[in-house]
Amino acid sequence: MSQQTPHVVIVPSPGIGHLVPFIEFAKHLVQHHKFRVTCIIPTVGSPSDADRAALSSLPPTINHVFLPPIVVSFDDHSTAESNENTNPLIFAVTRSLPPLRDVLKSLMSTTHVVAFVADLFSTVSFDVAFEFNLTPYLFFPSNAMALSFVFYLPKLDEMVSCEFKDLPEPVQIPGCVPVHGRDLLEPVQNRQSEVYRWFFDITKRHVGLAKGIIVNTFMDMEARALKALLEEPGKPPVYPIGPLTRVGSSDPDDVSGSNCLTWLDDQPSRSVLFVSFGSGGTLSRAQLNELAFGLEMSQQRFIWVVRTPNDESSSAAYLRDQISDQKNPLDFLPEGFLERTKDRGITIPRWGQQVQILSHGSTGGFLTHCGWNSVLESVVNGVPLLAWPLYSEQKMNAVMLVKDLKVALMRPKPNEEDGLVIREEIAKVVKELMEGEEGKRVRKPVKDLMNAASKSLMEDGSSIKHFQS
Ligand code: UDP
């Protein structure tokens, strides 16, 4: 490949949930445009095993460089996106700008770099792109609804003086299902906070600087939201090119849980519920206990990726290396649970092979935190969801999945007194998804969406056309 082959630089913000879709995007760039790609990755702590696994087995046209790790101190109360002064994502990207500049300089001396792509949390790196006269693009690994909200926020901020969660009426984001203020994304939940000001600034200043915005969704999934985004003037052009999802192993060394795939082979078709809260989601001790009893009472088959519980934060595992967690999450399960459920359930500590589990014919439901990668991975496999949103934009995603697309059931409401979703309610909704009428009701829309997803990625499909434009 000659030095003149057009080269694209991509800069994901830290976290496997950002890296995964960026890598799939890189594969498309290579396949459809014959570009070369270099992925320059700011990291918090050191790169995780999941990061390394996601980057293994890529073609030689896609290179990667980890920037020197940035040390972020996580106190027990910090979450991935709500820590007041040191949002770890922004902190890491901002601190990584000098080495990013060095890597870019050296790359530009040997290759023909034509574009620079960052995500929302790494848009601070646009300034470096401008220094090198590069055209910056925004890659938005979430959906059109969240992107639409990014554009709508300045207007909402102007119209509303109270906290959004106190609004009596749902918020009407253009082209989207109405969402209650308390379900809007996490950084806007406290308007007095640093993180709100930072988010507001990014939406107002950085996003508009992008030459184009690439979003990981597709027409049939979010037609109205996309139409609103594509038609409203004054925005950079938007390219819906999804669903970009991973195929193959997320962990070649299979640190835990390879036997779960063999176990799945022996289960009846569509009979197993997969339970996982993404790369970072954590439950409190009490909630973990209720979930365990709920799964047991439901009498359904399950595979559950169990994390060490955390009573302070629902994203306590985010950006922390799962494998180096010294505690054994299974020790936090109720006494006798593993023995009592061994004939119908598998528990995997910390990290599971999500894509393989979701694509297995025995998997019939996914209890998920509604991270966008997880949602898309479920949809492309036609697996209906049980929405249990925790942080970030997950509550908005859940509303879209349940109310608009009708491919998911919502987990029961937490108790007013202690915020717990109790075991009886969990058992009921799990049973409903796997064997009840409501479960049947969501199966058809999710199958339709699966077929539409596959069409959108065909040569003449909507996403490929947007990709080529
Ligand atoms: N993942 C996995 N095994 C796990 C947990 C997560 O392979 O045990 C992968 C999952 O398949 C997805 C990504 O990690 O590709 C998580 O991204 P998502 O957007 O769903 O959630 P986030 O972790 O960013 O909240």
Q: How far is the CA of 22 from the centre of ligand 1 (A)?
A: 13
pLDDT value of residue 204? 80
Distances (CA, A) of 220 to 47, 88, 331, 377: 35, 34, 43, 16
Nearest to 39 by CA among 2, 6, 68, 12: 12
Pocket test for ligand 1, best of 320, 373, 375, 394 (most atoms within 8 A of CB): 373
Indicate if 64 belongs to the active site: no
- 205 vs 306, more confident: 306
DSSP 320-360: S-STT--S-GGGGSPTTHHHHTTTTEEEEES---HHHHHTS
Nearest to 350 by CA among 26, 16, 14: 16
DSSP 274-286: EEE-TTT----HH
E-strand spans in 241-285? 272-276
138-190 pLDDT, tens digit per residue, is 999 999 999 999 999 999 999 999 999 999 999 999 999 999 999 999 899 99
Instruction: List residues near ligand 1 (CB under 6 A).
Output: 15-17, 20, 246, 250, 276, 278-280, 305, 351-352, 354-355, 371-374, 377
Three-state DSSP class for residue 249: coil
SS (H, E, C) 298-316: HCCEEEEEECCCCCCCCCC
Which residues, at least 6 apart from 347, have a Cβ–Cβ distance to it below 8 Å? Answer: 303, 304, 306, 330, 333, 338
Predicted-assembly ipTM surpassing the 0.85 threshold:
yes
The span from the CA of 425 to the CA of 429, in Å, is 6
Question: Across the chain, what does the average pLDDT equal?
Answer: 91
Of ligand 1's atoms, which has the minimum distance to the CA of residue 352?
A: 8
Helix (H) or strand (E) holding 454: helix 437-456
218-238 pLDDT, tens digit per residue, is 999 999 999 999 988 889 999
The span from the CA of 408 to the CA of 235, in Å, is 32
Q: Are 149 and 172 in contact (CB under 8 A)?
A: no
Q: How far is the CA of 407 from the centre of ligand 1 (A)?
A: 19
Of ligand 1's atoms, which has the minimum distance to the CA of residue 322?
A: 8
Q: Are 363 and 344 in contact (CB under 8 A)?
A: no
232-262 pLDDT, tens digit per residue, is 888 999 999 999 998 865 554 544 456 899 9
Candidates 7, 28, 51, 119; catalytic one: 119
The span from the CA of 408 to the CA of 384, in Å, is 6
Q: How far is the CA of 140 from the centre of ligand 1 (A)?
A: 16
Pocket test for ligand 1, best of 354, 372, 395 (most atoms within 8 A of CB): 354
The pLDDT > 70 percentage for the chain reads: 93
Q: How far is the CA of 176 from the centre of ligand 1 (A)?
A: 25
Nearest to 144 by CA among 47, 65, 235, 209: 235
Tokens read off for 100: 């990013």
Q: Are 119 and 13 in contact (CB under 8 A)?
A: yes
Indicate if 331 belongs to the active site: no
Distances (CA, A) of 230 to 212, 219, 225, 234, 428: 11, 11, 9, 10, 41
Q: How far is the CA of 231 from the centre of ligand 1 (A)?
A: 32
Helix (H) or strand (E) holding 117: strand 112-118
Three-state DSSP class for residue 232: coil
With 0.90 as the threshold, say if the pTM is over it: yes
Of ligand 1's atoms, which has the minimum distance to the CA of residue 251?
A: 7
Q: Are 395 and 148 in contact (CB under 8 A)?
A: no
